[in-house]
Structure 1
Amino acid sequence: MLSPGLAFADRTFDAILFDMDGTLISSIEAVDRSWALWGREHGLGDEFRIAHGTPARSLVERLLPAEQVEVALARITEIELGDTDGVRVLPGAAELLASLPAERHAIVTSCTRDLAAVRIAATGIGAPGVVVTADDISRGKPDPEPFRRGAELLGFDPARCLVVEDAPAGLESGRAAGCATLAVAGTHSLDELDADAHAPGVWAVAVRVTAEGTLVLEDRTA
């Protein structure tokens, strides 16, 4: 596995597209509590767990008959909006975001717009100008649409963008969109993540802005 400083030593990027949960913030405990409650309510048992990084609609459509989906989606949304206990910013995330020009980064999340706003507010990291949510797309991760949309809203070619993700579905989405990929340890270990570069967390990544405004990845641990 290569660090970002080594993997991207000869590259610059126009923008960075960040996943949110598990990459910039941690809401794992709240997510697990919310879905466990939802699972019990829908007869899925006490051991029910979800794969992080997949949109709620995709999960619900996979688990329940079509006629139950909308009501079930409304219920998990209600539960998640009401549980922000333990939601926190991950080490280095606020500093990394603050080092980036506003027009050069975005958040691309599988959360709904309302849920993303609640969790961003709970951590205090502040929302960038572009936040792509499940409400802004028709197909979620691992489809390429979310990251293509993020690049489009920033005005850049996806091939000139870097995706930072902690989940297999998100990394697959980024690759399919044509972006370079950086995996960080969050909801999965680095051994489970297929990416161009790997880092233990965003705290280990630094970004230098060139005179032309492009972005250079460096290793903070170097």
Structure 2
Amino acid sequence: MQNFAQISAPIPWEEINAVLLDMDGTLLDRHFDDYFWEVHLPEHYSLLHGLSVEEAAQELLARYRQTENSLQWADIEHWSRELKLNIPELKRRISDLIALHPHVPEFLDFCREQGKRLFLVTNAHPRTLAIKLEKAAIGGWFDRLVCAEEVGFAKEEPQFWSRLQEMLGFDPARSLLADDTEKVLRTAEHCGIAFLLHIARPNSRRRPSRSARYASVETFAEFIAAAKKRQWEEKKQI
């Protein structure tokens, strides 16, 4: 059996002063995004082009793969032009599916109470971010919200992290990144981000998959419990 990295592998919370958080799959349930790109959009694309939904889904999947790990993938204005569909409007039609993961507000409060700087760092397009924040009012917790378009690179690209550091002035050696995509975590690790947390259940409707490389949680309640346990154990030793 594979030995998975667990949150019990202690992350030294007292050494962290900046917390970088992904949005989709990390703070928000990725069910909305998966449903949109895999079901909702193919249905509308099939009607526009006289295809079956299955044919439309296959054609769109091939198009998605051509833009993976790039800014273009998250650029809904690009997709509106390419597909001749109003992507923001189609997203708004199913915006009731936008939802926070369990324990996200508690985690954001915990970070604030502990004096951490909080940054939202997302590949999402600014118009997508605006739609999400209309339904999940989390913006007020953060020192700054950063879309990859503002940085000029996707999070999977090393240039993203060096430029983000210049923009925000955080110390990579004292920063934590939480993300549901291991490729993003690996890139951030190679760029010097010291503490990395994998979100094992980005989509609440699908089975969790813990990381074999990084400390991994299904919800932030696990992280809070581990951080408080570590703090309590350190106080006992004083």
Q: TM-score over 0.5 for the alignment?
A: yes
Matches within 5 A, 1:194-205: 195-205=213-223
Paired residues, number: 204
Report % sequence identity. 21
Matches within 5 A, 1:8-157: 8-9=11-12, 12-34=15-37, 36-39=39-42, 41=45, 45-46=56-57, 54=69, 57-58=72-73, 71-72=81-82, 75-101=86-112, 104-127=117-140, 128-157=142-171
> Which of 201, 205, 211 in structure 2 is aligned with 1:186?
201
Deviation at 1:12, TM superposition (A): 1.2
Deviation at 1:111, TM superposition (A): 0.6
Counterpart of 1:169 in structure 2 is: 183
Unpaired runs of 5+ residues, structure 1, are: 61-67, 208-215
Deviation at 1:75, TM superposition (A): 4.0
AA matched with 2:95 = T
Relative to total residues, which structure has the larger strand share, 1 or 2?
1
TM-score by length of 1: 0.72
Quote the RMSD (CA, aligned, Å): 3.6
TM-score by length of 2: 0.68
Task: Please identify, of 112-121 and 4-13, the stretch whose mean Cα deviation from structure 2 is larger.
Answer: 4-13
Distance in 2 between residues matched to 1:78 and 1:148, nearest whole Å: 34
Distance in 1 between residues matched to 2:109 and 2:57, nearest whole Å: 41
Cα deviations by residue, 1:24-58 (Å, 9 ceiling, x for unpaired): 1114234422454444527762355568x956613
Deviation at 1:165, TM superposition (A): 0.9
Larger radius of gyration: 2
